[in-house]
Amino acid sequence: MPQKHLKKLEELNQKITKLKEEQKKVEDDLSLSLTNILKKKNAFSIDFETLIGGIIHVIETTPKDPSIAAGWKKLGAMFLKSRSQNTAPKMAKK
């Protein structure tokens, strides 16, 4: 294999490694966010099998029934919006 192809292959491998590292960080951030939301909504008071069953139901139903998914998406967006408003820094009154 010519040297320029080997160099290009090495560059691509480095990019792939960097992207995998970025993907792991994003997945870790999402995992932490999801855990915090579950805590905030007191979801851990539900028995674990029921909680997991509900999550699996959402995962399996979403691709099959877009109308239900749209309702869940709206509910989630409203929750996240209210959450971001509650955590936004308060402006000092003049």
What are the mean pLDDT values of the chain's consecutive 10-residue runs (94 residues total)? Answer: 90 98 98 94 96 95 91 92 73 46
pLDDT (0 to 100) of residue 28: 98
Question: How is the chain split among helix, strand and coil, in percent rounded to 5?
Answer: 80, 0, 20
Q: What is the pLDDT of residue 83?
A: 83
What is the model's pLDDT at position 94? 42
pTM: 0.70
pLDDT on residue 88: 56
Q: Is the dihedral of CA 54, 60, 64, 66 positive or negative?
A: positive
Output the pLDDT for position 86.
75
Specify the pLDDT at position 26: 98
Counting Cα atoms < 13 Å in the Cβ hemisphere of 23 gives 6
